[in-house]
Structure formats: C-alpha cells, structure tokens
Structure 1
Amino acid sequence: MADDSHKPDWNPRANDVLKDQIRVYDRMRGQCPVAWSDYQHWTLFRHEDVVRVLKDHQAFSSAVSSHLSVPNGMDPPDHTHYRKVIEPYFSRQAMEKFEPICRRIARNLVGNLPDGQPFDVVEQFSRAFALKIQCAFMGWPDSLHEPLREWLLKNHRATLARDRQAMADVAREFDNYIHDLLEARRRAGANAPRDVTTSLMEETVNSQPMTDKELTSLLRNWTVGELGTISSSVSILLNYLSGHPDLRQSLTNDTDALPDAIDEILRMDAPLMSNRRVTTRDVELGGRTIPAGEKITILWASANRDEEVFGDPDAFCPQKNRDQNLLYGAGIHVCPGAPLARMELRVLMEEFLSAVDTLKPAPDEQSERAVFPTGGFSYLPMLIRKQ
C-alpha cells in the first residue's frame, strides 16, 4: 500500500474534473504526471511512462484482479497460450468473412435513423450498433440485445460506484447468460451452430479444453470491451465530424482515408479511458518511487494527447501520429480485437457518410459527456438530413 501519510495529488471524482476530464488530464500531464489518488491509485498521464509500463510486463503485471480474467488479466506464459488461441478469430480472413454481415447491420441502422428529426446517437445508433454487431460476431441470438443493453448499464453503474457487491451481482448475471449459451450448444451436439462461440468451446490451451470458468471470463472480457468501446467510439466520431464538416465531406469523397482518420479522432478523444497494472517490485516513474504491489492506472485519455509526442493534441494529423497512437495499446497486451473494431467502425462510417448529407447537433439540446471509467458520451442529440 502507499504510505498512509501521502496525501492525494488530485481527485478524479471531483466535480471540476468530471466537468471537463480531458482538459484536466492535459493540465495534470504537465503539473503532476505521476499522481496518487484514492480512486485511481497511481495514475500515469505521460505517453513515455505509459509505453514503459506496456513494454515491461515483468515489473508491471496485468494480474490486477483477484478474479480470473482471460487473457487481459494474465502475464506470460499463461497470457501467451491464450493469445495464441484467440488471435485467429481476428485474422484478415475472419474479418473478410464477417464484413458483409457487419455492413448489412450498419446499413439497416443508418437507414432507420430519423431524417430531419433529433435523435440520441448513443441510444439509437452507437449502443444499438455495438449490441447487434457483438451478438452477430459471437453467434448470439437477437433476444440477447435488450438484456445485454441493461446489463451494460448496470455494469457501468456498479463500476463507477466501486460497489463490489453490485459488481459481483452483475458478473453473475452475465455468467448466467453465457452458461445458457454454452448449455444450448452442448445439447445441440453436432447440430450446434458453427459460430465463434461454438468454436471457442472446442479450443484447447496446453492440450486441455477450456473450462466453463475460462470461457465465461474470456467472453465477458470480449463483450465488455466490444460494447463499451465501440459505442463510445461511434458517438465520438459523429460528434467530431459534426463540428468539422469539411473533414466529413473529404472522407465522404475519399473513404480510403477513413481508417487513419478514425484512429486519429479516437486518439484525441479516447473511447477507452484506462487500463490497470500492478507493480511487482519497487519502481521509479516520473521521479516518484512506487512500491511493489501498488495498482497503476494507465490513462490512455491523457497519454494519447501528450504534447511531447503529438505536438498540439487537438491537431488532426493522422499520418504523422499513426505510429505513436496508443488507441489499441502496445506490447504483448495490444488489443487482439483491434482488426475487428477497425473494420466495424470503418464499415459503419462508410454507410453513414454515403447516406447522410447533413450532420449537426440538435437545436436546443445539450449533449452529456460520459465520465470515467467510460469515454465518449452518455447523451448526444443530433440531427441529420439524408441524401
């Protein structure tokens, strides 16, 4: 534990922080780049410090939780074995196979958006896309859309409040969904659908089938990551493009530029705010000594805006910033699902831009930013005119 006499350097839950988190992170990066708080423990704001942690998994362990977390909360060699199993599901061939399904979902959602009437991007578009696309990728029934939507909101509330009992209850609720999906496939035997979930049930790690506990942990991590970050990403992208109509028109005319543009917009405004590590030995970061066993918050929302690396953090420079962008992490824990997320966002934006002529904030409506640990928006009223 940190020295009890150590006073917090900041309060991530203070009203003035929550009012404009990104700007506060920008200030902290210069004033106190390695900061202690009761809520986030040790927070790293600088790109350099974050990269060091990402590349030194021996000193900074991912095994932060006391609960099984496959593979996010694992270190080598266990992490390596599970990654070997997981990565083929996000191969180029797998993405090419899934893209037509993704495009059909995206086209239908865009087609159903109200023309000339205000709507909430979060509820009617971004969250709906994330739910539909996750269930389609995993082979889960449409009947899970609404339960998963409610579960996601409960999970966010419990995490925000750090209510351990509520978090445990929410985890059990998800486990029950997965248990039912696995049992249905076992009952079906040879007639089980040939989808990602069934395939994972047949995988082996170290020549042993994954247990239900391992499968459930893996599927929970995939689902939380997909639903939260994809939904946040879509709201961030539409908000940015509504304020930059010239860029929106440029991307409409040149969709080949979309992948880099999407990554750059999400560098400036993070959909995933943070990850955690725990020190395995005493370390020094930013001139501060952090004892072994301390929890560390890697703040992507700050590191990806570091002036020492990117210059003006709000300047749109996709090619210049591409190689230093930590949107999907770095090192051995770089996000295995990055190819899927990139494909989904590209396809959705292609469909949106081809169908929409005008995009602007809804008049007389005020958007609401999401707060840590979630990025993006909790409410984003927009108005579109279709082609």
Structure 2
Amino acid sequence: MPSASSRKDQQDWDPRAPEVLADPITAYDHMRHQCPVAYSDYLHHSVFRHADVLAILNDHERFSSQASSHVSVPNSMDPPEHDAWRALIDPYFSAARMAEFEPECQRICHGLVRALPRNGVIEAMFDLAHPFALRTQCAFMGWSEALHEPLLEWIYRKNAATLSASRAQIAAVAMEFDDTIRGILQARRALGDQAPDDVTGRLMGETIHGRPVTEDEIVSILRNWTVGELGTMASSVGIIAHYLAGHPELQDQLRQNPALVRAANDEILRIHAPLIANRRTPTCPVQLGDRTIQAGERITVIWASANRDEAVFGDPDEFRLDRDPALNLLYGAGIHACPGAPLARLEIETMIQSLLAGTRAIERVPGHDALPAVYPASGYRQAPLRLHH
C-alpha cells in the first residue's frame, strides 16, 4: 500500500455519502473489514479497529490530543499540562460527589417519567432524552431552572445548525452558548460572598500553577461539561430506550433486577455508540495497519466501530452482560479516559431505572421508524415510542 502522503487524491470512502449518513453503524462495520485505516478529505485518516484505536489511546507521546485549532481544557492537552488540569478536574467526579448528587438526580428523573403521557406515544428525544440531559447537567452545575427553557431552545438551534452543515451557523450557535456561560459567571461574580457554593462556584475559585483559573479556561471546562455532554447524554438515553423497546425480555429482566441496569447501559452503548469519533495527531511518522501516517496529519478515532470489532467482541450485535468491561471503549481509555464517566453512568442509570420502574412496557411504534442523527451526532433525531404504565 502507498503511504498516507501519497494517498491524498485517493479517497477510500466518503463519510458524508447518503448511505453512510443513513446507516453509519453498518458503514463503519463495512470499513472495519474492507479498509480498517481509511483516508477521506473530510475525516482524513479514520481508524476502525479496536486494537489500533486502543494503541492510539494508550500512546499519548506519539499520538497528541492537540488535534484541533480550538483549545479545550483538558481534552486537547498533552502531558504535563493535561495532568495538572486532570488533577484539578477529577475530584469533581469523585464517589463522594456522586453520592451527594444522586438524590437530586433521582428527583429529576422520577419527575420526568411521571410527566410523560400514560399509555401513549412519546417522542423519546424531545419528550425525555433532551430534557433529561439538560436538567441533570444544570442541576449538577448548580444552574438556575430558569435556564432550562432557553437552553432547550438552544439545543433545537444547535440541531438545526448541525443538519444545515453550515460551518458559520454551527460556529455562531457555539459562540452563543459561550456567551451564556459568561453571563452565568458574571452573575455569580456580582453576588460576591452571596454566590451559591456549588460546582460552578467552586470551579471559579480554583487555582492552577499557582494562579487563578482564567475566565476563558472556566468557559472551556464548563463547555465540555455541558455542550459536550448534553448531546451525548441525550443520545445515550434515546439509544437505550429505543433498544429496550425492541427487546421486551431485557426490559423484564432489568425491571426485576435494577442493579443490572448500569452494565446493560454500557453494553447497549457499546453496540450503538452515542459518540462517533475523536481526533488525534501523530507527533512522528506512525504505522497503523498497512498505512504510514506522517507527523501533524489528522487521525479520526472511530469509537462507533472499535467497540463493535468482531476480533474482540465476536458478534458485535449480541447483547451480553458478562463481557470484560475493560474492553469497552465507551468512555475512552488511557490518560484521556472521560473524567465525567462516574457522573454519566449515574445519570443514565438513574434515568433508565426510573423509566423502567414507571412503565409496564416500552414498545416501538409500527410504521414510525426512528430517524438517525446526523454526523457528528449519533443515536436518533427522533425516536417514537409507546409507553404502557
């Protein structure tokens, strides 16, 4: 095979082809078999196999996370800068913090299920998944409930911008959210000593390298904890609810044993990833499969393929609760493994337990298929479900 540098005019696939966007999971499965390291103008070097992805994640010296022009704290940082920020951020997701937040998370999730129409059809994304993600993340951050409606409207605008594929529209919507965060910080500062002692307030009082954390750094962190999570968390609940609706025997098993819900969630999200991809950049020439990729080129790690690799999981569509959890890349691996994984697992587990406890059955609606999300989002744009209480 020629090296990557000689393949620039030879696209192995088109990630934006209609058939890929219509059924991305099947397309990624096909690429994993036919061309496990593939070049395209859009995603550059896409990596599909579990072994290659894991090798990249565990080698932060050769595969840098500084792969974007936008600085993201700590996602786009390498050691030692990354290590200092993780030491600051990780305690926010400690077991003690999760235990402290759990009752409020339960209150929100139980309330959302109680508000759903009884014995009727819901649109799982906008009736449940998006409100769930918005309310739980706002509660964790300590943000006012008055923000729920404007932020939900912002989610609608963000989804419309994604569908438009307009970079200018997507950038404008992102800037709008940053302005919202800056407004929250300004209001907190105006309160002085009367500001609430919550996650946002504590973050505003942090120091790094012996200096106060700057506003731009706080905005970057809060953007990751909100914008980065709102879509992924909503996608996760939509994917799981839709999957359960097609597997009534699994619903019954989980209703009888709610302690299995967390492991079931991770397995369902292995089968159908809520997050498609991340980026890396080689710091030196690297060999992946039969391709040589030069330093500075872009690599797209395709989570949605790696977690379905037959070489690791056998039949990727087989649901099993006895898999080795260390093989599941749902929350990443290596030094950049998701710091918010404990919160995500708590929130998703609580939401699905609440949904199962509040229903007798969840069914798909004949003649009304779920509409897939559009890359870079995953899951569903719409997912009609029928609930029986």
TM-score, structure 1 normalization: 0.96
| Structure 2 match to 1:186 | 189
| Structure 2 match to 1:253 | 256
Separation (CA, whole Å) in 1 of partners of 2:159 and 2:41: 19
1:17 aligns with 2:20: yes
Separation (CA, whole Å) in 1 of partners of 2:323 and 2:7: 44
Asked if structure 1 preserves the Cα contact closer than 8 Å seen for 2:162 and 2:374, the reply is: no
Separation (CA, whole Å) in 1 of partners of 2:138 and 2:78: 29
1:147 aligns with 2:150: yes
* More displaced 10-residue stretch of structure 1: 375-384 or 2-11: 2-11
- 3-state SS of the aligned residue for 2:78? coil
Asked if structure 2 preserves the Cα contact closer than 8 Å seen for 1:152 and 1:224, the reply is: no
Instruction: Name the aligned partner's letter for residue 243 of structure 1.
Output: G
1:174 aligns with 2:177: yes
Instruction: Name the aligned partner's letter for residue 217 of structure 1.
Output: S
- 3-state SS of the aligned residue for 2:287? strand
Separation (CA, whole Å) in 2 of partners of 1:176 and 1:87: 25
C-alpha displacement at 1:88, in angstroms? 0.7
| Structure 2 match to 1:315 | 318
| Structure 2 match to 1:36 | 39
Does the C-alpha gap of structure 1 residues 5 and 360 become closer, same or farther in structure 2, counting only changes over 3 Å? closer
1:133 aligns with 2:136: yes
Asked if structure 1 preserves the Cα contact closer than 8 Å seen for 2:7 and 2:39, the reply is: no
| Structure 1 match to 2:55 | 52
Separation (CA, whole Å) in 1 of partners of 2:56 and 2:320: 26
RMSD (Å) for aligned C-alpha atoms: 1.5
- 3-state SS of the aligned residue for 1:356? coil
Deviation readout 1:227-254 (Å, 9 max, x if unpaired):
0111001011111111111111001101
1:376 aligns with 2:348: no
Q: Please list every run of 5 or more consecutive structure 1 residues that lacks an aligned counterpart in the other structure.
A: none
- 3-state SS of the aligned residue for 1:42? strand
What is the 5 A alignment of 1:22-101? 22-101=25-104
* More displaced 10-residue stretch of structure 1: 164-173 or 371-380: 164-173
| Structure 2 match to 1:196 | 199
C-alpha displacement at 1:353, in angstroms? 1.0
- 3-state SS of the aligned residue for 1:318? coil
Deviation readout 1:162-207 (Å, 9 max, x if unpaired):
6443333223211211111111111111100111000000011111
| Structure 2 match to 1:292 | 295
Does the C-alpha gap of structure 1 residues 155 and 281 become closer, same or farther in structure 2, counting only changes over 3 Å? farther
Instruction: Name the aligned partner's letter for residue 129 of structure 1.
Output: F
Deviation readout 1:240-270 (Å, 9 max, x if unpaired):
1111111110011011111111100100000
* More displaced 10-residue stretch of structure 1: 349-358 or 363-372: 363-372
Match for residue 118 of structure 1 among 118, 121, 124? 121
* More displaced 10-residue stretch of structure 1: 142-151 or 213-222: 142-151
Does the C-alpha gap of structure 1 residues 283 and 156 become closer, same or farther in structure 2, counting only changes over 3 Å? farther
| Structure 2 match to 1:226 | 229
Match for residue 347 of structure 2 among 341, 344, 351? 344
Separation (CA, whole Å) in 2 of partners of 1:268 and 1:337: 21
Match for residue 328 of structure 1 among 304, 327, 331? 331
C-alpha displacement at 1:156, in angstroms? 4.5
Separation (CA, whole Å) in 2 of partners of 1:266 and 1:67: 28
Asked if structure 2 preserves the Cα contact closer than 8 Å seen for 1:268 and 1:314, the reply is: yes
C-alpha displacement at 1:5, in angstroms? 4.7
Separation (CA, whole Å) in 1 of partners of 2:66 and 2:142: 29
Count of residues in Structure 1 that have an aligned counterpart in Structure 2: 386
Asked if structure 2 preserves the Cα contact closer than 8 Å seen for 1:284 and 1:290, the reply is: yes
Instruction: Name the aligned partner's letter for residue 124 of structure 2.
Output: V
Deviation readout 1:311-332 (Å, 9 max, x if unpaired):
0001112222422000000000
Does the C-alpha gap of structure 1 residues 114 and 375 become closer, same or farther in structure 2, counting only changes over 3 Å? same
Deviation readout 1:318-357 (Å, 9 max, x if unpaired):
2224220000000000000000000011111111111100
Does the C-alpha gap of structure 1 residues 87 and 188 become closer, same or farther in structure 2, counting only changes over 3 Å? same
Instruction: Name the aligned partner's letter for residue 55 of structure 1.
Output: N
Q: Please list every run of 5 or more consecutive structure 2 residues that lacks an aligned counterpart in the other structure.
A: none
Separation (CA, whole Å) in 2 of partners of 1:86 and 1:101: 21
C-alpha displacement at 1:160, in angstroms? 6.0
Asked if structure 2 preserves the Cα contact closer than 8 Å seen for 1:263 and 1:318, the reply is: no
Separation (CA, whole Å) in 2 of partners of 1:385 and 1:167: 38
| Structure 2 match to 1:385 | 388
